[in-house]
Amino acid sequence: MIESGVLRFGDFTLKSGRRSPFFMNAGAYVTGSQLGRLGQYYARAIHESFGDDFDVLFGPAYKGIPLSVATVIAYHELYGKEIRYCSNRKEAKDHGDAGILLGSPLHDGDRVVIIEDVTTSGKSIEETFPIIKAQGSAPDRITIKGLMVSLNRMERGKGTKSALDEITELYGFPARAIVSMQDVITALYTEGDRTVITEELKKSLDAYYAQWGAQ
């Protein structure tokens, strides 16, 4: 994330209105090698968390589209299983390949894993969940097996728990991350040379989590 310029430190205002000392933008993964490695990391994390018991990887538009494509390729290379990718369009297309979906259609009986870059408030899942469920002949005909994000920000969602924990409680499926901000801090500060996360930045991170950290 650091090498690719995806995780940056500074002073950022998030969509939630919070001022954060760090910001993650998966759109900064732009090269073949970056996306190839990222797809492998996602595939391994999904395999470890959810096994092979799913059919479709759903990446919400727009950032979820390249994430889902890179990961289904990596999943086949690593585990030999064909997983279909699916994404939504922001606006439904009314000609040619019409509809709200991009990639594979969703069918009754499909088991879906959702893939995203990061979630702070869970708002994206509020939009994604009904889109996926609406593709079945009834809401229970498509099963969501879980959500995988690349970074757990480890901050409160709408209440006192993390957004990932709130998603699990609200929707009933597990929400996991490849790494957490604690992993990042451990690698770059506790066990690192402190050139990226300096003493001053560590104080800013501590202050942020004192205010917004999840229970």
Catalytic residues: 93, 95
Alpha carbon distance 113, 90 (integer Å): 20
Residue 149 to residues 49, 153, 209: CA-CA distances in angstroms?
Answer: 12, 10, 20
Give the C-alpha separation, 23 to 39, whole Å. 21
Report the alpha-carbon distance of residue 161 to residue 177 in Å, rounded: 15
**3-class DSSP assignment, residue 54:** coil
Q: What is the CA radius of gyration of the chain?
A: 18
Report helix, strand or coil for 159: coil
Q: Give the residue ranges of DSSP H helices in the chain.
A: 32-50, 64-79, 123-133, 163-171, 181-185, 199-212
* Contact status, residue 214 vs residue 162, Cβ threshold 8 Å: yes
